[in-house]
Amino acid sequence: MRIYDRKICFINCHFAAHLEALNRRNADFDRVFWTMTFSPSSNGHNTAAGFVPMLVIDAITLVSQANNDRTPELSEADMVVFLGDLNYRLQGITYEEARYFIAQRHLELLTEKDQLRAEMKAGRVFQGFREGVIKFPPTYKFEKHLTGLSGYDSSEKKRIPAWCDRILYRDSCCDSRTECSLACPVVSSIYMYDSCMDVTGSDHKPVKCIFNVDIAHVDELTRRQEFGEIVFSNEKVRRLIDDFGNVPETTFSSNNITLEGNDITVLRITNKCRRDGAVFQFFCGSQSVVKESEQASEHSSRDPFDFPNWLEVTPRTGIIKPGKTVEVSMRHRNVDTVDEFTGRSHKTQQNNDSSDKVVVLKVRITGNYPTESKSYEIHVSRCSSKNQYVESRGGVSRGSPPDLL
């Protein structure tokens, strides 16, 4: 879960069973904590995946690191809580001794025999994790439907009672006395840690825990206000922001080009800025058709990258160095097609009809940092005779084509 943009994860686990499987239990923890990553669930609900034998993870979605994309790791969470049947046992004690200490409420003597406490103290498992003070009797193994401490296993096997069911946690601080701050954003403490001895439907007794959790977070409104004050009061910061949004001034030799036959026209783009480079990119805006009546039909929009097949623009994108000029060629192409029945090549209708084509090209100019941009229009017409051209705003008139600068 996320609280004030801090990640808190609850991991419900079932580690390897049996007294002698201590190393397997430690390995189970390592695999969960160090090799699991988060991934959004496809159906919007939390799902689970198991990656080691006898390990079940119910609380969060986990995927293996076979995914090459970088995803947050479980170990990076601000607070992690492990809970469930961790299966650590009491070692170096007999069944009768354990029952005697339980009856006498000498729980502190039993915890000295606890595998989990010993492994944590040696630094072999749950590194950096903490657990509340155990003030309840071992939660395993009980006869079902029997109440009280008399319900411990009395079968022939006489399994030694143990605290198999545990809740351990780790926050963002290495010392429980550390105060909550942005440097240590999640600080936890235990308010209550106990077992549910009245539950008789299982051979385990569930455990429960209530946490006190302090979370440090940033007031975004205050942060934005302070940022604004810095921007308006710090001249250096303002210059940096201006540089990011700066779009060099550029000029075009023409915004109006007429092509016919195999004509090639050169469009010159000049970067007037002496300090920053300019990046240009051509897109196709719209196309219209002009009939012999000199009336232009309505413009039809085109895909920005779908240039008409009669027009070749080279290059469509590039960089203009400070104070320099680049040349972009506009070439009219006669496009041949092949008849699928006769196999003969012939001119397409669009190259033979008497109507003129007008394309509006969009030129996008950005600076070194593409946070801001400027757009320009270049009108390119393909006419059926030499005495037609299109003016800069898209109107059509008779006369000679304009000279390029």
In this structure, the answer to whether residues 386 and 307 fall within a common structural domain is yes
Identify whether 6 is part of a domain: yes
pLDDT, residue 250, reads 94
pLDDT, residue 390, reads 37
pLDDT, residue 243, reads 73
Band (236; pLDDT cuts 50, 70, 90): confident
> Any idea which of 232-236, 290-294, 303-307, 379-383 has the lowest mean pLDDT?
290-294
Reduce the secondary structure of the chain to three states and give it as a string.
CEECCEEEEEEEEECCCCCCCHHHHHHHHHHHHHHCEECCCCCCCCCCCCCCCCCCCCCCCEECCCCCCCCCEHHHCCEEEEEEECCCCECCCCHHHHHHHHHCCCHHHHHCCEHHHHHHHCCCCCCCCEECCCCCCCCECECCCCCCHHHECCCCCCCCCECCEEEEEECCCCCCCCCCCCCCCEEEEEEEEEECCCCCCCCECCEEEEEEEEECCCCHHHHHHHHHHHHHHCHHHHHHHHHHHCCCCEEECCCEEEECCCCEEEEEEEECCCCCCEEEEEEEEEEEEECCCCCECCCEECCCCCCCCCEEEECCEEEECCCCEEEEEEEECCCEEECCCCCCEEECHHHHCCCEEEEEEEEEEECCCCCCEEEEEEEEEECCCCCEEECCCCCEEECCCCCCC
In this structure, the answer to whether residues 199 and 300 fall within a common structural domain is no
In this structure, the answer to whether residues 341 and 257 fall within a common structural domain is yes
- Which pLDDT tens digit goes with each residue over 362-391? 999 998 777 788 999 999 988 765 444 333
CATH number at residue 40: 3.60.10.10
| pLDDT of 30 above 60 | yes
In this structure, the answer to whether residues 187 and 282 fall within a common structural domain is no
Identify whether 245 is part of a domain: no
**How large is the average pLDDT for residues 27-44?**
77
Band (270; pLDDT cuts 50, 70, 90): very high
Q: In the listed set 164, 196, 215, which residue is the last one of a domain according to the structure?
A: 215
In this structure, the answer to whether residues 210 and 112 fall within a common structural domain is yes
Band (40; pLDDT cuts 50, 70, 90): low
- Which pLDDT tens digit goes with each residue over 119-170? 999 999 999 999 999 999 999 999 999 888 989 999 999 999 999 999 999 9
Q: In the listed set 159, 192, 215, which residue is the last one of a domain according to the structure?
A: 215
In this structure, the answer to whether residues 199 and 108 fall within a common structural domain is yes
- Which pLDDT tens digit goes with each residue over 337-347? 444 444 454 45
In this structure, the answer to whether residues 33 and 144 fall within a common structural domain is yes
Identify whether 15 is part of a domain: yes
Containing domain of residue 261, as a range?
250-398
Identify whether 56 is part of a domain: yes
Average pLDDT, the chain: 81
Q: What percent of the chain is predicted at pLDDT more than 90?
A: 52
In this structure, the answer to whether residues 105 and 195 fall within a common structural domain is yes
- Which pLDDT tens digit goes with each residue over 78-106? 999 999 999 999 999 999 999 999 999 99
| pLDDT of 50 above 90 | no
In this structure, the answer to whether residues 6 and 151 fall within a common structural domain is yes
In this structure, the answer to whether residues 182 and 331 fall within a common structural domain is no
> Any idea which of 17-31, 188-202, 291-305 has the lowest mean pLDDT?
291-305
Identify whether 146 is part of a domain: yes
Q: In the listed set 162, 197, 215, which residue is the last one of a domain according to the structure?
A: 215
In this structure, the answer to whether residues 263 and 200 fall within a common structural domain is no
In this structure, the answer to whether residues 9 and 151 fall within a common structural domain is yes
Identify whether 381 is part of a domain: yes
Number of domains in the chain: 2
CATH number at residue 317: 2.60.40.10
Identify whether 232 is part of a domain: no
Identify whether 231 is part of a domain: no
